[in-house]
């Protein structure tokens, strides 16, 4: 069926189900997409549930049909959390509590929100806000928790550790070392900065790498210098990419 207010394009018959959510504590009534299995389950329940009279909605003062009701009374959250959920957990052979505490109906809402936020193609924060029916993104942020796996992948992709321990090139002036000029203070090690060189012998301990161009050890590279040097690689506490 077409999504209300959209371009009018029809979705695939089995691709999605649109669920109407009534006025609730965090916002007005709205429509959101859910898995077709949920729509099928609701349809199957509506076909077999006992007939119930219309009931007064205390939020809107309107008479509505309640999806879950017994003896003309809607199912309370206490009955759902203290009776139905423990019964379902027992039937499924799982515990009624975990490290976060007792399993409740609200926990399901938080779990689904976190799964949608950490999916392979995740929902954006504002999209998740609309799906949950929140008035503000701040409320949604309490539900959208980043999983350790996603956080670990993001840290790895940032490459912080790799940038700070990667190898850099050090060029050695063989003539300066052989002639003894190095012992008199002439530079003989040239650390490759990417744009030019640093001649400070204790380069890995330097505290002022952000101001290399103004340093006395900063040396412009020239083709004549490169031709008489050999190269070796060494580890440093910093790399050109992190400066």
194-203 long-range Cβ contacts below 8 angstroms, 24+ apart = 194/240, 195/240, 196/220, 196/221, 197/171, 197/221, 203/236
Whether the Cβ atoms of residue 61 and residue 67 lie closer than 8 Å to each other = no
Spell 197-218 as b/e; 16+ CB within 10 A means b: bbbbeebeebeebeebeeeebb
Q: Which tens digit of pLDDT belongs to each residue from 127-177?
A: 999 998 888 888 888 888 888 888 888 888 776 666 565 556 777 777 777
- The two tokens of residue 169 are 């090139």
Question: pTM to 2 decimals?
Answer: 0.55
Average pLDDT over residues 40-45: 90
Q: What is the pLDDT of residues 5-35, one digit of tens each?
A: 444 445 455 567 888 888 877 778 888 888 8
| C-alpha–C-alpha distance, residues 209 and 218, integer Å | 10
pLDDT over 90 percentage in the chain: 10
* pLDDT tens, residue by residue, 182-239: 777 788 888 777 777 788 877 767 777 667 777 878 777 665 555 444 444 443 444 4
β-strands 30-34, 17-21 pairing: antiparallel
Residue 168: predicted pLDDT: 64
Angle at 49 (CA atoms; ends 47, 50), nearest 5 degrees: 125
């Amino acid at each position: 069926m077409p999504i209300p207010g959209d371009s009018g394009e029809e979705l695939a018959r089995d691709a999605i189900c649109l669920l109407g959510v009534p006025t609730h504590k965090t916002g007005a009534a709205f429509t959101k997409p859910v898995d077709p299995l949920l729509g099928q389950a609701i349809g199957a329940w509506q076909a077999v549930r006992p007939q119930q009279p219309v009931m007064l909605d205390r939020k809107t003062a309107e008479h509505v049909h309640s999806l879950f009701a017994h003896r003309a009374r809607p199912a309370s959250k206490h009955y759902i959390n203290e009776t139905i959920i423990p019964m379902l957990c027992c039937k499924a052979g799982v515990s009624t509590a975990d490290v976060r505490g007792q399993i409740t109906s609200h926990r399901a809402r938080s779990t689904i929100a976190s799964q949608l936020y950490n999916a392979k193609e995740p929902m954006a924060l504002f999209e998740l806000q609309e799906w949950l029916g929140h008035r503000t993104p701040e409320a949604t942020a309490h539900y959208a928790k980043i999983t350790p796996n996603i956080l670990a992948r993001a840290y790895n992709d940032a490459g912080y550790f790799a940038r700070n321990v990667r190898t850099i090139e050090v060029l050695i002036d063989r003539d300066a070392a052989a002639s003894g000029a190095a012992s008199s203070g002439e530079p003989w090690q040239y650390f490759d900065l990417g744009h030019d060189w640093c001649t400070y012998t204790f380069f890995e301990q330097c505290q002022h790498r952000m101001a290399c161009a103004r340093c006395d050890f900063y040396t412009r590279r020239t083709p004549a210098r490169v031709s008489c040097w050999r190269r070796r690689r060494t580890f440093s506490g910093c790399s050109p990419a992190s400066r």
